[in-house]
Chains A and B, each alone.
Chain A
Amino acid sequence: MDAAIQIIITGLTLGAMYALASVGLALTYGTMGMFNMAHGMFMTIGAYASYSLSSAFGAPLPLALVAGICAGAISGSLLHLLIVRFMLHTEDFQTTIMVATAGVAIALQDLILKRYGAYPFKQPAQIEGSFRLAGTAISYQSIVIVAMAALLIGALAWLLTYTKFGLAIRATAMNQDAAKLMGVRTERTYLQVIVIAGVLASAAGILISSLAGLSPAMGTDPLIRAFIICVVAGLGSVTGAGLAAIMMGLFEAAISYYIGARFGLPVMLGLVVLILIFRPAGLFGRMEVVRS
């Protein structure tokens, strides 16, 4: 019983972070066919921005959080305005954009390494302490993580379903030319989508760093997990990515508990490959996949 509660709490915390990390990735792929290798850098940048504000200027927690998220939004818009915009209609966009964003990722990682050093340190922007529920210790931070993920993803879901803005994003994802014919300025939609991805990823980065600490390469591990989640959900499926993230979080918590933390990723990956052998379009691929 204790083990079950432990696993569910750890799993939900992990799942919430994974969902934040992967939903933006799925949205960018679904809308514009772009797999962003620099998505992990949004996480790193968000975490470091919060850290800097919180440690250097002693900013209170909410302000540090907002600053980190703003940093993610700004990085997203810069990525679009400086690079993606010029590549959108070129040949082999799907491949070349991965190459270009991989270049961006290692350059940014190098710059952060030069500025902050290689050694990991603690994220000050977080809540300390814990309480007990049915004999299991639950940290306030994991409540913050789940609440923040639920808030941001809920806001995204509302935006996509009920607003004109969201209607335009979905229309662009389903049929770019038809969206243009309706008067949707698709180039602007792309910018908005990357900014949303930046916001979600930087929030994920701040939350992840509150558990795992900050280091220049901190974005790589969640990026890989987000990749796996998007692949198993079916590329471009946003709802699927959210659901798959929670499943993966619970699953990984169980594996860590029974076998050991280092086998979490390998077992997940093995499972994903197995799933793909039977469902090559991913678990939710048929439901709302936008591009194959």
Chain B
Amino acid sequence: MDTLLSVQGLSSGYRHLKVLHSVSLEITRGSVTAIIGPNGHGKSTLLKAIAGLLPTWTGVVMLDGTALPAAASERARAGLTLVPQGDQLFMNMTVEENLLMGAYVRTDAAAVKRTLDDVFTLFPRLHERRGQRANSLSGGERRMVGIGRGMMAAGKLVMIDEPSLGLAPLIIEQIYGALNLLANEGQSILVVEENPSRVAGVASAFHLMDGGSFAWSGSAAALARSSDVLKTYLGG
């Protein structure tokens, strides 16, 4: 197996509050991994710690066999992309400027243009709205910009925090359709969702997070067999 991201014994938290307790995680290149579990148990914290937005208290994060530097900007440059919860767009920039910010560290203008076209093909709505400011978009459109901005980095691994959060079912389907396409193109993805049913069709590996560490890990097939485990944590 070709390991892309390797997290070993990662602990982190906010100020004096420890949230992650020695979490370990391996992600295979070209796969989709899902972290599921109830809210408030450290899923987003894990992504933030991996991205470098939260300091690493203990443990190592390695991408492609090399340990990552501490700063979030350096991790982004190394090829680690986070699509954060709540999109975190640049509200006073246009859609196009937001997308170009995603490609901030890339220097090959022609390649950036190709990715931009890919994003617009995947989300035609963004092409229509490319000159509009992000703060004038609807929730679904914002999510598209967020994911599109993540794609623009052409990173080795895209981490997406709750892509379905706060969206209408129809839009959620659209977003997951896009994620499926990305996955089929071979993009490595780490996705966080509260509800496993949404990611069940996309991901091949699952981790259930509870109280700041993984309570259960397994493949898609194993997940289908362990519905009782899930019931315990997610209340069916």
Please determine if A and B sit in direct contact within the complex, based on CB atoms under 8 angstroms apart: yes
Residues of A within 8 A of B (CB): 164, 167-168, 170-171, 174-175, 177-186, 288
Per the bound structure, the CA–CA distance linking A185 and B82 in Å amounts to 16
Decide yes or no whether B221 CB sits under 8 A from chain A: no
Contact A182 B76 (CB under 8 A): yes
Q: Note all chain B residues with C-beta closer than 8 A to A186.
A: 73
Contact B76 A180 (CB under 8 A): yes
Contact B84 A170 (CB under 8 A): no
Per the bound structure, the CA–CA distance linking A181 and B149 in Å amounts to 10
Stretch at the interface among B38-46, B94-102, B177-185, B188-196: B94-102
Q: Note all chain A residues with C-beta closer than 8 A to B90.
A: 170-171, 174-175, 178-179
Q: Note all chain B residues with C-beta closer than 8 A to A175.
A: 88-91
Question: In the complex, how many angstroms separate the beta carbon of A32 from the nearest chain B beta carbon?
Answer: 15
Closest to B90 in A: A174
Q: Note all chain A residues with C-beta closer than 8 A to B84.
A: 177-178, 181
Task: Give the size category of B's interface with A.
Answer: 20 to 34
Residues of B within 8 A of A (CB): 51-53, 71-73, 76-77, 81-82, 84, 88-93, 97, 100-102, 104-105, 149, 153
Question: In the complex, how many angstroms separate the beta carbon of A290 from the nearest chain B beta carbon?
Answer: 8
Instruction: Say which residue of A174, A180, A181, A184 sits within 8 Å of B93 (CB atoms).
Output: A174
Contact A288 B153 (CB under 8 A): no
Per the bound structure, the CA–CA distance linking A66 and B71 in Å amounts to 36
Per the bound structure, the CA–CA distance linking A167 and B105 in Å amounts to 12
Given A167-B104, A181-B76, A183-B76, 10 other A-B contacts at CB below 8 A? A164-B104, A171-B93, A171-B101, A171-B104, A175-B91, A178-B88, A179-B90, A181-B84, A182-B153, A183-B73
Question: In the complex, how many angstroms separate the beta carbon of A103 from the nearest chain B beta carbon?
Answer: 28
Q: Note all chain A residues with C-beta closer than 8 A to B76.
A: 180-183
Instruction: Say which residue of B53, B92, B97, B153 sits within 8 Å of A180 (CB atoms).
Output: B53
Instruction: Say which residue of A174, A179, A180 sits within 8 Å of B91 (CB atoms).
Output: A174
Contact B93 A170 (CB under 8 A): yes
Q: Note all chain B residues with C-beta closer than 8 A to A177.
A: 53, 72, 84, 88
Q: Note all chain B residues with C-beta closer than 8 A to A167.
A: 93, 97, 100-101, 104
Per the bound structure, the CA–CA distance linking A196 and B93 in Å amounts to 21
Provided the pairs A171-B101, A177-B88, A178-B84 are in contact, do residues A183 and B53 lie with their beta carbons within 8 angstroms? no
Contact B105 A183 (CB under 8 A): yes
Closest to B107 in A: A164
Contact B153 A183 (CB under 8 A): yes
Max chain B C-beta neighbours (<10 A), residue from A164, A171, A178 = A178
Closest to B82 in A: A181
Contact A184 B88 (CB under 8 A): no
Closest to A287 in B: B92
Q: Note all chain B residues with C-beta closer than 8 A to A179.
A: 90, 101
Per the bound structure, the CA–CA distance linking A171 and B97 in Å amounts to 10
Per the bound structure, the CA–CA distance linking A210 and B206 in Å amounts to 70
Question: In the complex, how many angstroms separate the beta carbon of B35 from the nearest chain A beta carbon?
Answer: 18
- Sort A-B residue pairs by CB-CB distance and give the 7 closest, nearest first: A183-B105, A183-B76, A180-B72, A178-B88, A182-B104, A174-B90, A183-B77
Instruction: Say which residue of A168, A174, A181, A288 sits within 8 Å of B51 (CB atoms).
Output: A181
Closest to B152 in A: A182
Provided the pairs A174-B90, A178-B88, A288-B92 are in contact, do residues A184 and B97 lie with their beta carbons within 8 angstroms? no
Per the bound structure, the CA–CA distance linking A170 and B89 in Å amounts to 12
Q: Note all chain B residues with C-beta closer than 8 A to A168.
A: 104
Q: Note all chain B residues with C-beta closer than 8 A to A178.
A: 84, 88-90
Closest to B106 in A: A183
Per the bound structure, the CA–CA distance linking A177 and B93 in Å amounts to 16
